[in-house]
Amino acid sequence: MSESIIPESELEEVELYHPKSWWTEKVFSQDAKLIAIQYGLTAFAIGFVALVLSWFMRIQIAFPEMAIISEGTYYQFITMHGMIMVVYLLTALFLGAFGNYMIPLMVGARDMVFPYLNMISYWTYLISVLVLFVSFFTPGGPTGAGWTLYPPQAILGGTPGQETGIILMLVSLCIFIVGFTMGGLNYVITILQARTRGMTLMRMPLTIWGIFTATVLALFAFPALFVSAVMMLFDKLLMTSFFMPALVEFGENLTYGGGSPILFQHLFWFFGHPEVYIVALPAFGIVSDLISIHARKNIFGFRMMVWAIVGIGALSFIVWAHHMYVSGMNPYFGFFFATTTLIIAVPTALKVYNWILTLWKGNIHLTIPMLFCLGFIVTFLNGGLTGLFLGNVIVDVPLSDTYFVVAHFHMVMGIAPVLVILGAIYHWYPLITGKMLHDGMGRFHFWVTFVGSYLIYFPMHYLGFIGIPRRYYEMGQTEALYTSSAADLNIFITVAALAVGFAQLVFIFNVFWSAKNGQVAEKNPWNATSLEWRTPEQPPIHGNFGKELPVVYRWAYDYSVPGAEDDFIPQDVPNEKVTLAEGYSELGVEKT
């Protein structure tokens, strides 16, 4: 996998901004690594809010007689939980936090190509989070339109938060997209144009491939959300009728007329479906790297993995209407979109096979990151299989808007990516802080999270099959609709959910506790090959690589190479400098 021809550098030296004060060094920093941490902490803070909202909802569903929250509040919590988790937590965390931290380090760059723009990107994101958060304290509260914000109900009377909540939500989304675009351009150009010598695209770790493709998807998918948010804002504020047909409300004719609510659904899902892969593709990439590192084996079918990522990304733009089988669009559309949806299963299944085959006969270390990876594979497989049910029009129709859907997407784009995020944090925490996370707390965290999420979401499939609708504040007295087993199950799910929530508190405690009291990490504690561990200092300082950028001689997956003494060869070590194992004359060639 190594060629000796390394071209001369054709990159200009990046002129890094040297901060002159505490403010420009620690707060308004232009260093991608600090920006990443700022992104991460902000995302976790707002994500924690969404987590707490889910506890209230679970308690309400399990014990409706307690009436812990009102009907309106329930819808508001559902909406905010969904939107925060999908956009403000997962997207920001994968691209803003992991993207910023990992891209320059893994491709061997000193920083992002436009550090100033990168800084502005974070502060814009922070403003969008604050605008969203403020809606909790406005008259009428945050919007309760459901995270899909379907008009006409989203902006009409009767929907909670239609006074100001919906406006703040749409404004916040627009700000988020502006901020993300600035960051996203940085990620794409850094990967395309600022790699170090020898770092071809086909030598990049899959983490970077995942983040890269996801960023491209985001740059092309967010425009749809931006436009639909602008149009809905106009519908709300200027009384235009883009999405609003002629309506009668409380016996009075509204001034709206002639708009198309279905148009919003098309636009929303043209963003919404790529969004699933914006979250999933970085997770795919990261999990591939973690599996390879912790199983001490090269990733199986690297090129196939790259093509699968790119293929999934491309296909994700032509499947959006599978979210709309019951929305009243032309039934022939459903036929087309079911076909494309099922085609996506091919590259996705290919990736799952490759992960399994990487594990096959690997030297598996059951470290915490590895545990999370294994958890991810199983969870993702589960979520993917239920996707086959929902992707087929005829099976989807009875399952639409039931708990089956809730179970499916929480498995596939909730739990699965979150498991990867957690695994990645355990993996890269030594790099970022120089300390190891506490192992015992980590294992407790993993087992409770993993087993707990199954206890939460497996029963939900059953609830869906017996027809329990989602988004209901309480199921009421109707025995026919709501059997006693469903009521018991809901209590069971709530208990599991609270336990999983508690485990996350342990994790948060662990993150802060270990930063101070954790065991000091040795250099490159996992014996990984990729460049982020090859910096002179750990954690890396501003400028990343000291005086000279590393030169890359090989791909990122040279684990257990026959003939090498160590079971890994870092990317910046040429063949001549590899220490040979006894009995070998060169790599892969035994002495005769």
Partner 1 sequence: MTSTSKIPLKDGIEGFVSDWSSDQRAFKGVPWGKAMMWIFLLSDTFIFSIFLISYMTARWSTVEPWPNTSEVFALTVNGVSVPLLLIAIMTFILITSSGTMAMAVRSGYQKKRRQASALLYLTAILGLSFVGMQAFEWSKLIEEGIRPWDNPFGARQFGSIFFMVTGFHGFHVSVGVIFLFLIARKVQRGDYDTGRRGFFTWQKGRYEIIETMGLYWHFVDLVWVFIFAFFYLW
Shortest separation between residue 151's beta carbon and partner 1, angstroms: 13
**Residue with smaller CB distance to partner 1, 48 or 220:** 220
- The least CB distance from residue 233 to partner 1, in Å, is 10
Between 76 and 207, CB nearer to partner 1: 207
Q: Which residues pair with residue 249 across a beta bridge?
A: 252
* Minimal distance, residue 372 CB to partner 1, in Å: 30
What are residue 469's DSSP bridge partners? 402
Interface residues with partner 1 (CB under 8 A) are 5-11, 15, 17, 113-114, 116-117, 181, 184-186, 188-189, 192-202, 219-220, 222-224, 226-228, 230-231, 234, 238-242, 255, 257-260, 263, 267, 270
Give one word for 195, left, alpha or beta, with left for phi > 0 and alpha for psi -120 to 50: beta
Torsional sign, CA 542, 548, 554, 559: negative
**Structure-derived torsion over alpha carbons of residues 289, 539, 129, 309, reported in degrees to the nearest 10:** -20
Considering the complex, state which of residue 255 and residue 585 has its C-beta at the smaller distance from partner 1.
255
Hey, is 565 helix, strand or coil? Answer: coil
Please name which of 295, 137, 135, 276 lies closest in space to residue 217, comparing C-alpha atoms. 276
Question: What are phi and psi for residue 252, nearest 5 degrees?
Answer: -115, 140
Nearer to partner 1, 181 or 433 (CB): 181
Nearest residue to 207 (alpha-carbon basis) of 530, 585, 492, 535: 530
Residue that the structure tokens 């850094």 belong to: 190
11 or 455: CB nearest partner 1: 11
- Is the CB of 141 or the CB of 259 nearer to partner 1? 259
Residue 330 CB, nearest approach to partner 1 (Å): 14
CB 341 within 8 A of CB 272: no
CB of 180 to partner 1, least distance (A): 10
Q: How far is the CB of 114 from partner 1 (least distance, A)?
A: 7
Q: Closer CB to partner 1, residue 181 or residue 341?
A: 181
Query: What's the first-to-final CA gap in the chain, in angstroms?
Result: 23
Nearer to partner 1, 178 or 364 (CB): 178
522, 526, 531, 537: CA torsion to nearest 10: -10
Q: Which is nearer to partner 1, 47 or 108 (CB)?
A: 108
Min CB(187)–partner 1 separation in Å: 10
Among 554, 547, 544, which Cα is nearest to 574's?
Answer: 554
**Smallest gap from residue 192 Cβ to partner 1 (A):** 4
Give min distance, CB of 331 to partner 1, in A. Answer: 19
Shortest Cβ 212–partner 1 spacing (Å): 11
| 255's tokens | 């001034």
SS (H, E, C) 126-165: HHHHHHHHHHHHCCCCCCCCCCCCCCCHHHCCCCCCCCCH
CA atoms within 13 A on the CB side of 589: 6
Buried b (16+ CB within 10 A) or exposed e, 513-539: ebeeebeebeebbbebbbbbbbbeebe
Nearer to partner 1, 195 or 297 (CB): 195
Helix (H) or strand (E) holding 249: strand 248-249
Contact 429, 435 (CB under 8 A): yes
Q: How far is the CB of 300 from partner 1 (least distance, A)?
A: 20
Residues in the chain: 592
Q: Which is nearer to partner 1, 82 or 108 (CB)?
A: 108
